Structure formats: C-alpha cells, structure tokens
Amino acid sequence: MTTATGAALSNAGLTILSEDEELFRASVREFAEGEVRPRVEAMEHASKLDPEIIRQCFELGLMAIESPEEYGGAGSTIFNAIVAIEELARIDASVSVFVDVHNTLVTNAFMRWATDEQKKKYLTQMAESRVGAYALSEAGSGSDAFALKTRAFDKGDHFELTGQKLWITNGNEAEIFLLFATVDPAAGYKGITAFIVEKGFEGFSVGKKEDKLGIRASSTTELILDNCKVPKENVLGEVGKGYKVSIETLNEGRIGIAAQMLGIAQGAYEAALKYTAEREQFGSTLNSFQAVQFQLAEMAVEIEATRLLVYNAARLKDAGKPFVKEAAIAKLYSSRCAERVSSKAIELFGGYGYVKDYPVEKFWRDSKIGSIYEGTSNMQLQTIAKLIMPKK
C-alpha cells in the first residue's frame, strides 16, 4: 500500500491498514469495550445475547458491512467485516459469531446468488433488523455435508420441506434462514438446493438450544421442518445447485471464523499481559521474570502470524483473487493459536486462571469451537493438501 491510500500502522504492529480501516476498527472497539464488555458475564450466565446488543449491532451497521448501499448496507469489504469480527471476539466470542454468521455466510450468499427481487426484499430486512442464519448441518451430516437427509418436495406452486437441522448458529434470534435440502436423494449432491425460509413459514419451528462448552450466549439450535411450505420464488440460485452455494459461501465464512479465533487469542493475551504486570510473587511482578517474558513473547509471535494469515486471506478475497487455500490455512492456524494462547494465559494466571472470576478460562472454552465449526481442522488440512499437490 502507498501513502496515497492513507495507510497507517495498526496497533497490531506489522499489519498495515488504511486510515478508514483504522477508524472502523476504533469504532468497533469502542462499542465492544463500552457496550459488550459490561454485559459479557450476564450473557454468559443467561446463555443468551442481550437484546440491546443485538439492536445496537444493527444500528451501528455491523449487520450489513458488505451489503450494497442500495439495500441499506455499508457497501464495504470482507476485510472490514473480519476486523469487526476480530474486535468483537477480543471481548466476547458469542457476539462475534452472531455478527460473523449473519455477514460472511448469509449476507454473502444473498449477494452472490439472490435475484434482484430477493436482494431487495431480504438484504434490506437483514440490514435493518432481521437476523440471518445458515442451516446446512444435520445429525448425520457434519463434515460430510452432502449426506443431508432433509427433503424438498415439489408441490407445483411451492416446495414442502421435511427434516431436521442441527447446530444452527443464531437459531433463536434469526428470522431468515438459508436452508439446504435435497429435491432428489438419488442425484447425490446434484439434488441439493438452497431455500430462503422465514421463521413464520407454516411447518417451520426452532427446536432445542444446545448447552455448550463455550460461546454460550450464542444460540445453537435444532430446526424442525414438518411439511414446511416454501414459495417457489424462495429458491436461492438454481434448483440442484445448492452444493455450489454452500461450498463457495463457506469458503468466505472460514475467514470470518479465523478472525474470531484471532480475536479470542488477542483478548486472552491482553488479559495475561495485564495480570502479569500486576501480580507479585517472590517480591516482584510476574512479568519481571524472564521465563514469563518468553512465554508472553511466544504468544505475541503466534498472534501476529495468525493476524497476517487472516488479513492476507481477506485481502485476496477482496481483490478477487484465489483465496480458498489461504482461508483454510488461516482457519486451521488461528484455531490452534487461540487454543494455545488462551491455555497459556490460564497457566500464567495460576489458580485464578481456572476460576470464572477471571476472563481467561472463558477465552479457552470459546476457542475450542474453532477447530470444529465451518469445517473441522481435518477438513481444512484436506483442502490445503488438495490445493498444494501437483496436478496429475
């Protein structure tokens, strides 16, 4: 980047951001520190997002970062989206994933695959007040996403969907669901179709909410479809082309999850820095001991490497260049980084790190999901291996 772009060094050190990107980061950080942080403990205990936080996410434009201005969005970049996700995760991963899924999965899919009429109707609603969710997974189809059993039956002027979805982020808050079902099981992945399902559609209901290890304020629910009636005009893309929608949407979504893990690592690291500067043992603060300094330095190195991987994947996506390998690498490495850094932070806190009075045990619990959702670590390795192997 040149000086003409208004580039400036970020507080992360090595990564260069434009002035507009720095201002955006600062505004999200102000919101995260001032509004989210005071509510983290209560949301964690209630296992529910504060409605006021949801309202403010819409008011601040955090739910329509990439949406075109004509539909009420900011018309910005995925880079700014991942900056927002990172900053929110630095304080609370549950709020972060709430914003992440709405932006990088649902809004992203509508922008790429929706008709003009669908965009006008749904992108506008999702910019104003209606939360989106992405419904692909089922009890028997996780990494093998195309083993899904949910059926869509053509009834002439509408489809009827029958089946169950599992592990759906934003399930309780969402009113608009991007849901995948097959119109022809015998056709394999070529039968999968993407549907826009509204919460109020006949035959649709939200099932149980999962009781999770981490990201507890984020709702992860079951969806039940009992002859759910979906209008023909609510097919997203083409009938039988849902596999393409799902794969290509998840490719971008993985950059968002990587940003979430980066934010978790940063939050845990900052907590450890502060604690070791205050805690005294043997007549000195913990950070005066070289062994502790070296551990903090290792944490800083891992976080900076992660940040560069995540930002690089986002920059490639925004530039319209191939980014699938880089997104997989960023997600794989960031999930490992978040686990390692938050675990080390617990150790630096000692006994206090193991109790809920201090924040680092939550960072560790929140980090574990990074190696599981939107493609497990093994699936990321498979993607990376496929893309680095010589062509035969």
Which candidate, 59, 71, 66, places its Cα nearest to that of 85? 66
Burial 69-95 (b: 16+ CB within 10 A, else e): eebbbbebbbbbbbbbbbbbbbbbbbb
- The alpha-helical segments, DSSP class H, found in 204-323 are 242-278, 290-318
The CA–CA distances, whole Å, from 165 to 111, 155, 171 equal: 24, 22, 10
* Residue 348 exposure: Cα atoms within 13 Å on the Cβ side: 34
For residues 244 and 238, give the distance between their C-alpha atoms in angstroms, rounded to a whole number: 10
Other CB atoms within a 10 A radius of the CB of residue 319 amount to 11
Coil/strand/helix, residue 14: coil
The CA–CA distances, whole Å, from 139 to 134, 147, 168, 251 equal: 15, 10, 11, 22
Amino acid at 328: A
Coil/strand/helix, residue 168: strand
Other CB atoms within a 10 A radius of the CB of residue 153 amount to 12
Please pick, among 66, 86, 302, 374, the residue that the annotation labels catalytic. Answer: 374
Size of the chain in residues: 392
For residues 37 and 176, give the distance between their C-alpha atoms in angstroms, rounded to a whole number: 28
For residues 177 and 30, give the distance between their C-alpha atoms in angstroms, rounded to a whole number: 30
* Range list of β-strands (E), 52-157: 131-135, 151-154
Does an H or E element contain 41, and which? helix 40-46
361 counts as catalytic? no
Q: So which residues are the catalytic ones?
A: 374
